[in-house]
Amino acid sequence: MKTNLLPLMAVALAAAVSPLRAQVEYVDPTIGGVGVLLEPTRPTVHLPNSMVRVYPVRKDQLDDQIKSFPLTIISHRLGELFSVMPGASAAPAAWDQEVTTPYYYSTRFDESLIRTEFTPAARAGYFRFTFPDGKATLHFGNLYPGNLQAEGVNAVSGEEDFNDMKAFFYGEFSAPVKATVSGGEKKKLVAKADAKALEFRYGISFISVAQAKKNLAEEILAWDFEKIKTAAKNRWNDALGKIKVEGGTDAQRRVFYTSLYRCYERMVNITEDGQYYSAFDHQVHQDARPFYVDNWIWDMFHALQPLQILLNPKMEADQLQSYVRMYEQNGLMPSFAVLWGHHPCMNANHAATWFADAWFKGVRDFDVNKAFEGLRKNSLDATLLPWRKGAKCSLDDFYNTHGYMPALPPGETETEPQVHEREKRQPVAVTLGNSFDDWCIAQLARATKHDADYNLFMKRAHNYDHVWDAQEGFMWGKDAKGNWIEPFDPKFGGGQGGREIYDENNGYTYTWDVMHDYDGLFKLMGGRAAAEKKLDHLFREGNGMSKFEFYAKFPDSTGQVGQFVMANEPSFSIPYIYNRLGAPWKTQKRLRTLLEAFYTDNYFGIPGDEDGGGMTAWVVFTMMGFYPVTAGVPAYDLGSPVFDRVTIRLENGKTIKLIAHNNSADNKYIQSIKLNGQTMDKVWFRHADIVNGGTLELEMGNTPNRALGASPESFPPSSALINPQTLASP
């Protein structure tokens, strides 16, 4: 039989050439564009960590109408600023022929056939509109109370008042326009020109219209859309090119690089020409050092900040110092530091984990003593209540005295007026989260010679003991008298969303939320063998009810495998816990299954809310084959790499190489490990082992090596008693 070798040769050639494609070409911003139950991602066009971020305003990727385009957004999922829409009217219009990349967006409207294109600069944006009928009309609008006005025949400016601060823009047209302004507190401006093509370039500012005009002049000097587009593409290839992957499938590379792109949406540098407006004291500050906002730390401390500490430590230092300045300006360390100031979402004092993680990984260019002061104040003198910011209340005094946040028995009326009506007390989540954060503060106290504070916070780090129900074997709530809440139901108990006991997840997830002291947790569970059995059970236990009933209460708990929840950040470290139980092959198997099931290259490719890198940073680490299980501990657990080779270009010019020999979908189990040429049995390594470059080599196979990483001497750091500084030493 004669075989036609040409198709086989073409496939082989494509496989050989594919890894050489520019990394940005693999990015598909529509991945995750339809939320499973909650919020979708947006095909956001922007430069890495920059002010101007633009996407089409619509419900999700399947919405066939675009409402408008913002000139920028306030924050991921927190709204837009100003609007522009081409066409005879400002009404939503059906779209088609969409092109989405990180650096360029294009779409064509069905009825008018108007083509809209956009490309970004850091503090400026550039639209290009094509009108087939030669009648160019643009509709601008205020989304908040403000003003719009024509600046002669070639320009327009505006301002908006939102959340107790202002945004400004100044824009120019490529041809003379006739502008008319109407409206009350929210103005509308219509600009018309006899032109088939009309370009609009603009600057954004949070200081003034004059500064917006200056930002535009500095960043978009000429009418050259393609030049700005090319510059934006190059910026993205530089950022994404810090990690080069080889092997895997095209789909896996699309998932990987799209996830990495998502990791550059936050935080955002809002410094403008050596100055910035801070909503934390409502002042304009002169400071050449970049000032960053928009950090949802509850989501991001797990993986996003550790990823950026590895890739961009100088930027991380600037972001950390931005938090210090926010504390100096306002008197409290932020939790969610958004553009308009404090946005106290979620719970706990997780800035502590971020500062500790950076410090022990060698990022030191920030005021650590001032940071410690602010973190200490947040823990001891401010409220720990979810979705609140300010002075402590009666429940905080109880926590400081008794070591746990008391739960409110079912049917009892809330006694503390500061408790959020919808979010409730979340007593177990609050106790566990602050136990971890206080452990991180203790480590910073030791590093900065605050010995008395070290002892205090180490004691508080063990507060998780107080919510362990030994009889039931779960973290559970108890009231102010020390009585366990009845009826006991770690799967479905705790009121709407579980917030009367937990937060966004049930007891099956939160029982494992003791990242700083797994050894202590295993002891509570009856030892490692019992803990491994319990962890197996987590992935196998069903809901005991319909998905309809379960998700009506726990909409954040999509992406389920048994009671494990891939769609929410407190679950991220759980698959790696097997590394501490002598069964790392189970970690390797689970991770491959989770990636294949829940992170795909289509509209449904993210299982839960992607909070600006909070979820996709887990994907980046896990696909590379390692993960920072405990922020504050400068070490990484091994998983199961998807790619044959990963090369990470560090900021210091060194490179990390991760090589997986004989890797494939079936060969997901690590057979042997070499780190910098030395064979090792442990399935973890230190940040210090790679921060100045290094090579990790794994031999992969299709059968678990059950002896590898099975001895207690090989387990990753798992005790509250460890000193992270000893791991940080070369």
Q: In this model, does residue 2 exceed pLDDT 70?
A: no
Q: For residue 582, what are its two tokens?
A: 């002598």
Query: What pLDDT digit, counting tens, does each position of 39-94 carry?
Result: 999 999 999 999 999 999 999 999 999 999 999 999 988 999 999 999 999 999 99
| Residue 495, pLDDT score | 81
462 band by pLDDT with thresholds 50, 70 and 90:
very high
Q: Say which amino acid occupies 675.
A: L
β-pair type (268-269, 243-246): unpaired
CB 390 within 8 Å of CB 383: yes
Rounded to the nearest 5 degrees, what angle is found at the Cα of 662, between the Cα atoms of 659 and 663? 70
- Global model pTM greater than 0.85: yes
Q: For residue 468, what are its two tokens?
A: 């362990």
Can you tell me the mean pLDDT for 457-461?
Answer: 98
Query: What pLDDT digit, counting tens, does each position of 597-643 carry?
Result: 999 999 999 999 998 899 999 999 999 999 999 999 999 999 999 99
Query: What pLDDT digit, counting tens, does each position of 317-331 carry?
Result: 999 999 999 999 999
State how far Cα 425 lies from the chain centre: 24
Query: What pLDDT digit, counting tens, does each position of 499-514 carry?
Result: 999 999 999 999 999 9
Query: What pLDDT digit, counting tens, does each position of 136-180 carry?
Result: 999 999 999 999 999 999 999 999 999 999 999 999 999 999 999
| Residue 19, pLDDT score | 40
CB 84 within 8 Å of CB 200: yes
Can you tell me the mean pLDDT for 695-719?
Answer: 97
Can you tell me the mean pLDDT for 193-218?
Answer: 98
Q: In this model, does residue 211 exceed pLDDT 80?
A: yes
21 band by pLDDT with thresholds 50, 70 and 90:
low
- CA–CA gap between residue 658 and residue 343 (Å, rounded): 39
Q: In this model, does residue 11 exceed pLDDT 50?
A: no
Task: Supply the mean pLDDT for the chain.
Answer: 95
Return contacts of 478-486, CB within 8 angstroms, 24+ apart: 478/404, 478/406, 478/407, 479/406, 479/407, 479/408, 479/409, 480/398, 480/402, 480/406, 483/409, 485/407, 485/409, 485/410, 486/409, 486/410
Question: Is the backbone of residue 608 left (phi > 0), alpha (psi -120 to 50) or beta?
Answer: beta
18 band by pLDDT with thresholds 50, 70 and 90:
very low
- Strand 83-86's sheet: what is its strand order? 83-86, 135-141, 187-194, 178-183
Q: Say which amino acid occupies 292.
A: Y
List of domains in the chain? 31-240 (2.70.98.10), 250-728 (1.50.10)
